[in-house]
Amino acid sequence: MEYAIDFGTSNTVVARINATGTIETCQLANYSSLMADNPPLIPSLVYVQDAVNDKIFIGQTVCDRGLDRQSGKGEQRFFKDFKRAIGSNKSMFVPEVDGREVEFELVGEWFLKGIIEQLPDVDALIFTVPVDSFESYRNWLGDVCEKLTVERIRILDEPTAAALGYGISGGSETLLVVDFGGGTLDLSLVKLAFAEAQTEPEQPKSPLGFLLKWGDRTIKSNNINNSINSSSQTAKVFAKTGQNLGGIDIDNWIVDYFHATLGLPKNSLVSRLAERLKIALSHHESATEVYFNDQAFTSYELTLTRSQLEQILEQQKFFASLDQALDRVRQQAIRQNLDLAKVDAVLLVGGTSQIPAVKAWALRHFTEAQVKSHKPFEAIAHGAISQGWELKDFLYHSYGIRYWDKRYKKHNWHTIVKAGETYPLPKPVELTLGASIADQPSIELVIGELGETNVEVYFEDERLITRVLENKQVAVQILNEKSTAIAQLAPLGQTGCDRIKVCFQVDEKRTLRITVQDLLTQKDLLKNAAVAQLI
């Protein structure tokens, strides 16, 4: 059976198609939270009981046992918000539990393995990922599933899945998806359309998302996907952008507010109370929680109103960040002759989108008839598991090679594939290289995935903090760190002449491939070799 997993920073949703052909959200015993008016959500929480023997508690079990009330003293055994740090190239504090270093990738692995092991008859998985995720995060997902011997994996970006999950009944729709969860803000402009009837038989279409493969292991074809025919629908992504901004940042800002006004400590317990206040303010004009200091035997009443929360958000340039993200999508749309103001619907997805101030922000830019918010938690997982869709997409990040910049005396990056390119590329990108020293035995090439960010993520006071930067910075993930030598030269390379020609191509499955020809011997040193799976 195939399952879709929307692994979120705050909550995780699992969906499947049941025996009657209906999409349903899976309720996992002990793991799922059953709150009024909410579907079964699995809190993305982990408590480490024994790090040496991988004994952990996850999800709602952590809350039911009161293990989420860690005060911050001694070893850190309670983990939340760990998704944001997975795959990050930022060096940060790594906790040690029971004498073992517990990296956030390991915490995430424990969490997902615990969920997957509870699912019956798993033979395929669909994961959704933020649009701004890097190759390292997607590879980590693949590694987790490989350890569980799950060989069929599909990956789809979260906003596109959300668009599919909002239940399009027919016709053609242009949708702006605002996916605002616990850790990320993703915007995606998607057009959904039914394919026109075909008079002649059509070849099976590509499945939604793409498949990952490890080494020589064979991934079996998906019979369900192969059944997609001429009645299938298409989802074409015209624009998308993302950034590290989410509900946990708002929690941290509320903690900072009470630290400044009441002198409360910055720890996981106060963060939990801040989260409860934030959620309560989605339904009430004001909310109150009580914090008890067990050392001083004093209690504090934490009261917050909607207007106070909006002031906090304004001070943190929260709405300015939303406006900047919307402007980036608008500029991409304009380049394709699309008017963002005329979209058929604006879909609000994710827990943070339920904050009244966020919906008010959306209504400042769009009409009330356009803004939809009735399926905030399940849209992504339900869209990912839906059948009969073919995805037409483009590359979100640029890809380039590293070189030594003599002017600035540091490494820099030369772009070979630009963001926004559709795939497969209409023609390969060619690059000619020569030896840099006499008798050079090989030529190396460092290939990187290039992104931009205006936020900095770091670890402080047991919290993952996001800070908005004044200027954008280049964020790079190296794709071939363990295999940078692309050409062994025989005879040895000499300076002053071109020696190899490198052709870069991105195929229909988003795989970056290179072909390397030795210009001296006229031999192919590499032929259509896969470097990495691209987003």
pLDDT of residue 464: 52
Which of 31-40, 86-95, 203-212, 217-226 is predicted least confidently?
217-226
Query: What does the H/E/C string look like for 240-257?
Result: EEEECCCHHHHHHHHHHH
Task: Write the CB contacts of 358 (distance below 8 Å, at least 6 apart in sequence).
Answer: 180, 322, 348, 352
Mean per-residue pLDDT of the chain? 81
Q: Is the pLDDT of residue 199 over 50?
A: no
| pLDDT, tens digit (0-9, with 9 covering 90-100), for 297-340 | 788 999 999 999 999 999 999 999 999 999 999 998 998 889 99
Q: What confidence tier does 232 reach under pLDDT thresholds 50, 70, 90?
A: very low
pLDDT of residue 134: 63
Q: Is the pLDDT of residue 90 over 90?
A: no
Q: What confidence tier does 394 reach under pLDDT thresholds 50, 70, 90?
A: low
Q: If you average pLDDT over residues 206-228, what whole number do you get?
A: 31
Q: Is the pLDDT of residue 31 over 90?
A: yes
Q: What confidence tier does 59 reach under pLDDT thresholds 50, 70, 90?
A: very high
Which of 55-64, 170-179, 481-490 is predicted least confidently?
170-179
Which of 113-117, 179-183, 459-463, 501-505 is predicted least confidently?
459-463
Question: From the CA atom positions of the chain, what is the Rg in Å?
Answer: 25
Which of 261-265, 352-356, 461-465 is predicted least confidently?
461-465
Query: What does the H/E/C string look like for 307-348?
Result: HHHHHHHHHCCHHHHHHHHHHHHHHHHHCCCCCHHHCCEEEE
Q: Is the pLDDT of residue 220 over 60?
A: no
pLDDT of residue 115: 95
What distance in Å separates the CA atoms of residue 359 and residue 357, rounded to the nearest whole number?
6
Q: If you average pLDDT over residues 380-392, what whole number do you get?
A: 75
Q: Is the pLDDT of residue 408 over 50?
A: yes
Q: Is the pLDDT of residue 201 over 80?
A: no
Contact 531, 510 (CB under 8 A): no
Q: What confidence tier does 195 reach under pLDDT thresholds 50, 70, 90?
A: very low
Q: If you average pLDDT over residues 19-25, what whole number do you get?
A: 90
pLDDT of residue 91: 53
Q: Is the pTM of this model over 0.75?
A: no
Q: Other CB atoms closer than 10 Å to residue 460's CB: what's the count?
A: 12
Which of 111-120, 184-193, 280-289 is predicted least confidently?
184-193
Q: Which residues of 182-210 are buried (b: 16+ CB within 10 A; e: fewer)?
A: bbbbbbbbbbbeebeeeeeeeeebebbbb
